[in-house]
């Protein structure tokens, strides 16, 4: 008898004498793993082979561990069977040592198959099904945008801010004494040059406008005089009060709260670039938040520098220097989610504000903050205030007439987790809103934790207990929000205390980034069509997470040649190097030829306007910068 032959007592019926077969319960259960794994493998191959980028979809990242577990299980089973059969042969030939070794190998194959499957399922639960853990690092999804695709410029200068925060101390972050305007001006100048790779502000802006017009079928042209620019700021904290009656007493209430909205100094730096570098007439620029008022404290600081800019407010009177926003009845806005569970009645059609509809270009000017109900509030959520109504739709004429944007947030009672319709995608994709956004700007001078945050000093490097004092600038609205998410997640990896229930680490906080990057084929299955013309949105940008919070590197930082995702750029091109070989005598000859010129002169050379910020004249300020970089 073979050593391995199984011998067991058989049960016999005492009446019939027949052998009683043991009952086998739940026979189908044994096939659950192989059938599920095989199905996941087939599904993954069918979806991913035609379009490899689908491997980054959340649904495919759930299927992949199941598929790989099935492959490991099959390989382990085949290996175990082969080793077991070899052991039988060895024992039959009395080669017991080799036989025992084959038994050990057979058991090892079984153990590897089982543990591999268990590990894969555990990874799927931790990394995919639970969105509190972000997607793997450096795995981009979506289509990059911009002159330098996927580039996000980050300028950090601790000299921009100088303030000792004292709760209810009477001083606020937005006061001129606490932000150095000259430093912020220089940061804005650096940001536009880092973004474009140009050596002068004027050529940098020209490159941005030309790239935008080329990608929007307007031809290879820069900014044309008379074209209008509208800037969407975030005044979410400015409730619906009449700005004309916001006397100092009312402003004092905001001082006591010390909540942060957009920095007026950052707005001045942006307006300076548009007016004095690009050459946009002040009257062709509008700025504001259609869903909120424009408070006196902010208006008074900015208006004195640029009195002819159009300052938008939801309520108030033109006698106060602000313009009340109105709907444009010819620019409708449609929501793409038809799910009746999200609202009781058919929603009233939204319309864009007139100044947004009439603008040739938009600039999305947001703040670097987390959010107590949406996870983060960056450029995407900044557009929640673009429709002259509160996002939760508790507005005129009746509460049920407008789509409640809050229902696509991530709270448990709304749309938690991944793979859901997100209203932000419609906002970023509408042709007259996100579709004509020239630049995305994140104000990170004073960042905060929660939507109604007071400024909070940052602990991570390079901030090291100081204010973040940063500007982020990009042509890719998905990329800049992805970078903002990583900074916020790294600084505040856990939710705050008290009643706040969300933050950057909350399930689904970056789901809208997945949806907007894959708007052409989102995992939610939504047919995103905010224009209501039956044409599905294309990808609106690239989403990716950095490798770690120390190195802060994205796929294009790690591999500039083959990287397909984001590049976080911080270095300004060497000013004065006009031919790419360092600042030398050849560059000095070019600089000397343009000396004293202005844009209307025959010897004008915009590349030589290298003072920070540019001032449309080649003079001693440019010479100082040139000499600083001499022979570097």
Please report the sign of the dihedral spanned by the C-alpha atoms of residue 522, residue 232, residue 263, residue 166. negative
Radius of gyration of the chain (CA): 31
Q: What pLDDT score does 136 carry?
A: 77
Confidence of residue 520 (pLDDT cuts 50, 70, 90): very high
Q: Is the pLDDT reported for residue 5 higher than 70?
A: no
Say how far apart CA 108 and CA 370 lie, in whole Å.
Answer: 48
DSSP-based three-state secondary structure for 596? coil
Say how far apart CA 204 and CA 409 lie, in whole Å.
Answer: 37
Say how far apart CA 322 and CA 319 lie, in whole Å.
Answer: 7
Q: What pLDDT score does 427 carry?
A: 92
- 520 and 546 fall within a common domain: yes
In a domain, 579, yes or no: no
Q: What pLDDT score does 511 carry?
A: 84
Q: 229-232 and 361-371 as β-strands: parallel, antiparallel, unpaired?
A: parallel
Decide: 65 and 58 in contact? Cβ < 8 Å.
no
Q: Is the pLDDT reported for residue 314 higher than 50?
A: yes
Query: Which range, 100-114, 486-500, 562-576, has the best average confidence (pLDDT)?
Result: 562-576
Q: What pLDDT score does 181 carry?
A: 92
In a domain, 14, yes or no: no
In a domain, 476, yes or no: yes
Say how far apart CA 57 and CA 521 lie, in whole Å.
Answer: 9
For range 108-134, the mean pLDDT: 43
In this predicted model, which residue has the larger pLDDT, 103 or 423? Answer: 423
Q: 567-569 and 151-156 as β-strands: parallel, antiparallel, unpaired?
A: parallel
Say how far apart CA 244 and CA 90 lie, in whole Å.
Answer: 96
From residue 316, how far is each of 243, 311, 390 by CA, in Å? 6, 11, 17
DSSP label at residue 23: P
Question: Which residues, 6+ apart, have CB-to-CB distance to 536 below 8 Å?
Answer: 519, 520, 527, 528, 529
- 125 and 146 fall within a common domain: no
Q: Is the pLDDT reported for residue 218 higher than 90?
A: yes
Q: Is 57 exposed, middle or buried (0-12, 13-18, 19+ CB in 10 A)?
A: buried
Confidence of residue 381 (pLDDT cuts 50, 70, 90): confident
For range 233-241, the mean pLDDT: 70
Q: What is the pLDDT of residues 255-302, one digit of tens each?
A: 556 667 788 999 999 999 999 999 999 999 999 988 888 888 888 899
Q: Which of 129, 155, 173 is the last residue of a domain?
A: 129
- 344 and 298 fall within a common domain: yes
Decide: 579 and 567 in contact? Cβ < 8 Å.
no
Confidence of residue 217 (pLDDT cuts 50, 70, 90): very high
Report percent pLDDT > 70 for the chain: 66
- Strands, E assignment, 354-480: 361-371, 375-377, 437-448, 470-474
Q: Is the pLDDT reported for residue 78 higher than 60?
A: yes
Q: 327-333 and 350-353 as β-strands: parallel, antiparallel, unpaired?
A: antiparallel
- 117 and 254 fall within a common domain: no
In a domain, 6, yes or no: no
Decide: 362 and 356 in contact? Cβ < 8 Å.
yes
- 287 and 390 fall within a common domain: yes
**How far apart are the two ends of the chain, measured CA to CA in Å?**
88
- Name which of 192-201, 382-391, 413-422, 431-440 the model is least confident about: 413-422
- Average pLDDT over the chain, rounded to an integer: 77
Say how far apart CA 363 and CA 192 lie, in whole Å.
Answer: 13
- Strands, E assignment, 138-187: 141-142, 151-156
Q: Is the pLDDT reported for residue 504 higher than 70?
A: no
Chain position carrying tokens 């107590």: 372
Q: What pLDDT score does 53 carry?
A: 45
Q: Is the pLDDT reported for residue 572 higher than 90?
A: no
Q: Is 53 exposed, middle or buried (0-12, 13-18, 19+ CB in 10 A)?
A: middle
Confidence of residue 626 (pLDDT cuts 50, 70, 90): confident
Say how far apart CA 249 and CA 241 lie, in whole Å.
Answer: 13
Chain position carrying tokens 């939504």: 526
- 84 and 160 fall within a common domain: no
- 542 and 605 fall within a common domain: no
Question: Which residues, 6+ apart, have CB-to-CB distance to 376 below 8 Å?
Answer: 369, 370, 481, 484, 485, 488, 504, 509, 510
- 232 and 182 fall within a common domain: yes
From residue 40, how far is each of 48, 112, 525 by CA, in Å? 12, 20, 19
Q: What pLDDT score does 8 carry?
A: 40
- Name which of 127-136, 396-405, 455-464, 572-581 the model is least confident about: 127-136
In a domain, 123, yes or no: yes
In a domain, 580, yes or no: no
Q: Where would I find the H helices in 220-316? A: 248-257, 264-272, 296-303
- 565 and 612 fall within a common domain: no
Q: Is the pLDDT reported for residue 252 higher than 90?
A: no
- 495 and 600 fall within a common domain: no
Q: What pLDDT score does 34 carry?
A: 64
Q: Which of 539, 569, 599 is the last residue of a domain?
A: 569
For range 339-360, the mean pLDDT: 71
- Scored b (16 or more CB within 10 A) or e, 61-76 reads bbbbbbbbbbbbbeeb
For range 41-66, the mean pLDDT: 57
In a domain, 503, yes or no: yes
For range 519-535, the mean pLDDT: 87
Look at residues 427, 401, 384, 404 and name the one whose alpha carbon lies nearest to residue 342.
404
The pair of three-digit structure tokens given for residue 298, joined into one six-digit string: 């902010």
For range 296-314, the mean pLDDT: 91
Which backbone phi and psi does 265 adopt, to 5 degrees?
Answer: -65, -35
Q: What pLDDT score does 160 carry?
A: 87
Question: Which residues, 6+ apart, have CB-to-CB distance to 581 below 8 Å?
Answer: none
For range 16-25, the mean pLDDT: 47
From residue 393, how far is each of 113, 200, 387 by CA, in Å? 54, 45, 10
In a domain, 249, yes or no: yes
For range 604-628, the mean pLDDT: 84
Mind giving me the DSSP string for 69-84? HHHHHHHHHHHHHHHH
Q: Is the pLDDT reported for residue 43 higher than 90?
A: no
Q: What pLDDT score does 344 carry?
A: 44
- Scored b (16 or more CB within 10 A) or e, 529-559 reads bbbeeeeebebbbbbbbbbeeeebbbbbbbe
- 168 and 117 fall within a common domain: no
What's the farthest any 2 CA atoms get from each other in the chain? Answer: 118
For range 156-178, the mean pLDDT: 73
Q: What pLDDT score does 204 carry?
A: 93
Q: Is the pLDDT reported for residue 494 higher than 90?
A: no
- Name which of 115-119, 347-351, 456-460 the model is least confident about: 115-119
Q: What pLDDT score does 445 carry?
A: 84
Question: Which residues, 6+ apart, have CB-to-CB distance to 96 below 8 Å?
Answer: 90
- 444 and 589 fall within a common domain: no
- Strands, E assignment, 428-521: 437-448, 470-474
Q: 375-377 and 229-232 as β-strands: parallel, antiparallel, unpaired?
A: unpaired
Tally of structural domains, the chain? 3
Domain encompassing residue 610: 585-628
Q: Which of 85, 100, 129 is the last residue of a domain?
A: 129
For range 399-403, the mean pLDDT: 61
Look at residues 299, 462, 460, 485 and name the one whose alpha carbon lies nearest to residue 377.
485
Mind giving me the DSSP string for 524-538? T-----TT-SSPPPP
């Amino acid at each position: 008898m073979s050593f391995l032959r199984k011998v067991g007592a058989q049960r016999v019926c005492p009446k019939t004498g027949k052998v009683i077969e043991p009952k086998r319960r739940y026979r189908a259960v044994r096939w659950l793993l192989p059938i599920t794994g095989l199905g996941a493998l087939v599904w993954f191959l069918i979806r991913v082979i035609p379009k490899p980028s689908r491997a980054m979809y959340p649904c495919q990242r759930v299927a992949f561990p199941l598929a790989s577990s099935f492959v490991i299980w099959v390989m382990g089973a085949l290996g175990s069977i082969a080793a077991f059969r070899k052991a039988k042969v060895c024992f039959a030939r009395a080669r017991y040592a080799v036989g025992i070794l084959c038994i050990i190998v057979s058991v090892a194959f079984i153990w590897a198959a089982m543990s591999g499957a268990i590990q894969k399922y555990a990874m799927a639960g931790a990394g995919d099904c639970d969105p509190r853990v972000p997607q793997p690092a450096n795995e981009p999804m979506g289509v990059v945008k911009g002159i330098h695709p996927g580039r996000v410029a980050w300028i950090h200068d601790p000299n921009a801010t100088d303030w000792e925060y004292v709760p209810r101390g009477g001083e606020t972050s937005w006061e001129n004494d606490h932000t150095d305007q000259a430093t912020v001006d220089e940061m804005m100048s650096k940001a536009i040059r880092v973004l474009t790779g140009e050596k002068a502000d004027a050529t940098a802006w020209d490159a941005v406008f030309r790239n935008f017009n080329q990608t929007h079928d307007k031809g290879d042209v820069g900014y044309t005089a008379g074209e209008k620019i509208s800037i969407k700021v975030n005044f979410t904290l400015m409730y619906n009060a009449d700005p004309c009656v916001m006397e100092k007493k009312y402003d004092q209430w905001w001082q006591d709260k010390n909540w942060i909205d957009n920095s007026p100094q950052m707005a001045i730096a942006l307006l300076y670039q548009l007016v004095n570098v690009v050459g946009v007439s002040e009257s062709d620029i509008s700025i504001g938040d259609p869903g909120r008022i424009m408070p006196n404290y902010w208006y008074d600081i900015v208006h004195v520098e640029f009195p002819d800019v159009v300052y938008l407010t939801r309520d108030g009177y033109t006698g106060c220097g602000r313009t009340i926003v109105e709907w444009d009845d010819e620019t409708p806005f449609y929501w793409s989610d038809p799910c009746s569970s999200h609202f009781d009645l058919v929603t009233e059609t939204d319309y864009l504000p007139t100044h947004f509809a009439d603008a040739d270009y938009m600039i999305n000017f947001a703040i670097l903050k987390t959010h107590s109900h949406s996870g983060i509030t960056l450029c995407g959520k900044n557009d929640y205030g673009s429709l002259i109504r509160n996002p939760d739709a508790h507005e005129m004429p009746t509460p049920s007439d407008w789509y409640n944007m809050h229902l696509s947030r991530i709270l448990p009672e709304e749309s938690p987790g991944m793979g859901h319709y997100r209203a932000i995608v419609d906002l970023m994709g509408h042709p007259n809103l996100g579709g004509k956004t020239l630049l995305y700007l994140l104000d990170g001078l004073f960042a905060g934790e929660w939507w109604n945050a007071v400024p909070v000093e940052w602990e991570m490097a390079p901030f090291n207990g100081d204010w973040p004092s940063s500007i982020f600038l990009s042509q890719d609205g998905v990329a800049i929000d992805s970078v903002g998410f990583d900074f916020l997640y790294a600084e505040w990896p856990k939710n705050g205390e008290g009643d706040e229930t969300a933050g950057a680490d909350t399930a689904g906080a970056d789901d809208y980034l997945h949806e907007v990057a894959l708007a052409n084929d989102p995992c939610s299955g939504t047919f995103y069509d905010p224009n209501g013309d039956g044409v599905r949105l294309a990808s609106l940008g690239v989403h990716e997470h950095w490798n770690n919070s120390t190195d802060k590197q994205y796929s294009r930082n790690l591999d500039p040649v083959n990287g397909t995702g984001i590049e976080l750029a911080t270095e300004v091109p060497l000013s004065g190097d006009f031919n790419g070989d360092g600042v030398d005598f050849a560059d000095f000859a070019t600089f000397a030829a343009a000396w004293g010129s202005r844009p209307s002169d025959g010897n004008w050379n915009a590349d030589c306007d290298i003072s920070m910020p540019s001032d449309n004249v080649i003079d001693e300020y440019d010479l100082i910068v040139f000499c600083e970089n001499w022979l570097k």
